[in-house]
Amino acid sequence: SSDVCSSDLISCIKEIDLDDYAEAIPAFICIITIPLTYSIANGIVFGLLSYVLINLISGKFKKIRIEMYLLSVFFIVMLLLH
């Protein structure tokens, strides 16, 4: 059953828009962070933080909803306190 779940997750990778670096880089960071930290939660946190940061740097700050900014602040505080 874990093989089916893994293959479902891996099959989603081909849907990542590799031409849009603001989408591709955070997805890659998320995918790489999960096995390196043995934590799905850490992968999601670093993927979200990199998504927000890359979009801010590239001037696409209107693309990001206020909830993403709030989550980013929460995650940064959480990482600093951990």
Q: Tens of pLDDT along the chain (82 residues)?
A: 455 556 666 777 878 888 888 889 999 999 899 889 999 899 999 999 999 999 999 988 788 999 999 999 999 999 999 8
Is the pTM for the entire model greater than 0.85? no
How far apart CA 54 and CA 67 sit, in angstroms, is 16
Phi, psi dihedral angles at 73 (to 5 degrees) = -60, -45
Retrieve residue 17's tokens.
């828009």
